[in-house]
């Protein structure tokens, strides 16, 4: 599959603060790629460097086959960026904002009108399109900023917290839009988000960043295999078994962790599948009725927290 972003060993520092420290990853055509990491991990700096706003002090990168340091304007013409804050001209109307950014992107007036109307309709902003943006709610501003990023039909989208401030219905709509852009239109989306549930739903691959470098990268399955290969199982009971049974289960071979998860549930982390019948047999032997036994996979959040925690412990 064609690679639309390739970066290798990028470094960048802001007045002595090392924002990127040997950053390397690739993004393929048509995939949704998440950049995850705590504040200060370097996600925003990465977007700035890849769009030619900042010049990496070392390392190499290509975006859509172009060099960001030398061909930034060409990249920005073909990419759309939703910044962390909507960054809209609040004294102007939605239409004035779209006309301004569309014009700078080199779009003819009719095209701006046509595509602007489409996105204003899609994001349910058409009725308020002539009102000053300062009168909009946070979610409306976010939707307008997204319309601005999509207006010039970019081949590559950088979305920094795209559903921030949106209600669940609007957030779901955006997730659907991201899916459509990547899977139906074969365009790539780079998503920076703290909403790991959202990333898990829409992303093909993720890169977990910390202090300016990627500490893990791959699809969720790959990350699970690498960082969360143990089995998790949730046992449901009619009523919670006595505490001594929990201690007994913890002592079994292959049981890594056992804890009460809810009023009538236990959550177990096991080293291998073969521990499941052993646990169940043990509980049945002491007369504990088991209502359900549901295997559970590690979520992206589990993996993320483990990676960030593991790194912190190493430090």
Partner 1 sequence: MIKLQNIFTIAKKDWLEVRQNKYAWAPMLIVPAIFVIIIPLIFTFVIPALAVSPQDVLTSDADFQIFIDHMPLQLSRYIDFQNPMESMLVIILGIMFAPMFLIMPLMASTTIASESFAGERERKTMEALLYTPASDAELFLGKVTASAVPSIALTWLGFAIYTLILNLAPYAYIQRIWFPLPTWWPLIFWITPALVILGISLTVLISARVQNFLGAYQSSASVVLLVVALFAGQVSGMLYLSVGIEMLLGLLFWTAAALLTALAVRTFNREALLKG
Contacts to partner 1 by CB under 8 A: 14-15, 48, 51-55, 72-74, 76-77, 81, 83, 85, 87-92, 96, 100-101, 103-106, 132, 145, 148
Q: Among residues 50 and 177, whose Cβ is nearest to partner 1?
A: 50
Exposure letters 120-134 (e unless 16+ CB within 10 A, then b)? beebebbebbeeebe
150 or 196: CB nearest partner 1: 150
Taken in order 26, 32, 36, 41, the sign of the CA dihedral is positive
* Distance (Å, whole) CA 68 – CA 56: 9
Output the smallest distance, CB 154 to partner 1, in A.
11
Check residue 30 and report its DSSP letter: T
Which residue, 69 or 305, has its beta carbon nearer to partner 1? 69
Residue 45: CB minimum distance to partner 1, A: 9
Residue/partner pairs of 15-18 with CB below 8 Å, 24 or more apart: 18/211, 18/212
Q: What is the closest distance, in whole angstroms, from the C-beta atom of residue 41 to partner 1 in the complex?
A: 17
CB of 12 or CB of 266, closer to partner 1: 12
User: From the CB of 249, what's the least distance to partner 1, in Å?
Assistant: 54
What span, in angstroms and rounded, lies between the C-alpha atoms of 186 and 182?
5
Closest to partner 1 by CB, 52 or 241: 52
Shortest Å distance, C-beta 30 to partner 1: 22
CA 150/CA 144 separation, integer angstroms: 10
């Amino acid at each position: 599959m064609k690679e639309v972003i390739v970066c290798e060993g990028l470094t960048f520092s802001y007045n002595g603060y090392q924002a990127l420290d040997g950053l390397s990853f690739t993004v393929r055509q048509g995939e949704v790629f998440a950049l995850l990491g705590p504040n200060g991990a370097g996600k925003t700096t990465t977007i700035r460097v890849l769009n030619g706003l900042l010049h990496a002090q070392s390392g190499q990168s290509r975006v859509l086959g172009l060099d960001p340091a030398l061909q930034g304007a060409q990249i920005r013409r073909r990419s759309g960026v939703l910044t962390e804050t909507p960054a809209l001209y609040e004294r102007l109307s939605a239409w004035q904002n779209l006309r301004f950014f569309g014009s700078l992107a080199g779009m003819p007036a009719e095209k701006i009108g046509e595509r602007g109307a489409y996105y204003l309709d899609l994001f349910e902003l058409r009725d308020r399109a002539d009102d000053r943006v300062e009168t909009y709610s946070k979610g409306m501003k976010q939707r307008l900023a997204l319309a601005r990023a999509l207006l010039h039909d970019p081949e590559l989208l950088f979305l920094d917290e795209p559903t921030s401030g949106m209600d669940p219905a609007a957030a779901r709509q955006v997730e659907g839009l991201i899916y459509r852009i990547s899977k139906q239109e074969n365009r790539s989306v780079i998503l920076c988000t703290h909403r790991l549930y959202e990333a898990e739903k829409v992303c093909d691959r993720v890169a977990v960043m910390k202090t300016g470098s990627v500490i893990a990268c791959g699809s969720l399955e790959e990350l699970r295999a690498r960082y969360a290969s143990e089995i998790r199982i949730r046992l449901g009971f009619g009523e919670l078994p006595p505490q001594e049974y929990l201690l007994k289960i913890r002592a079994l071979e292959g049981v890594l962790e056992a804890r009460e998860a809810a009023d009538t549930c236990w959550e177990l982390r096991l080293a291998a599948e073969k521990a499941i019948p052993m646990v169940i047999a043990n509980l049945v032997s002491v007369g504990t009725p088991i209502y359900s036994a549901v295997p559970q996979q590690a979520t992206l959040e589990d993996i993320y927290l483990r990676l960030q925690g593991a790194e912190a412990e190493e430090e």
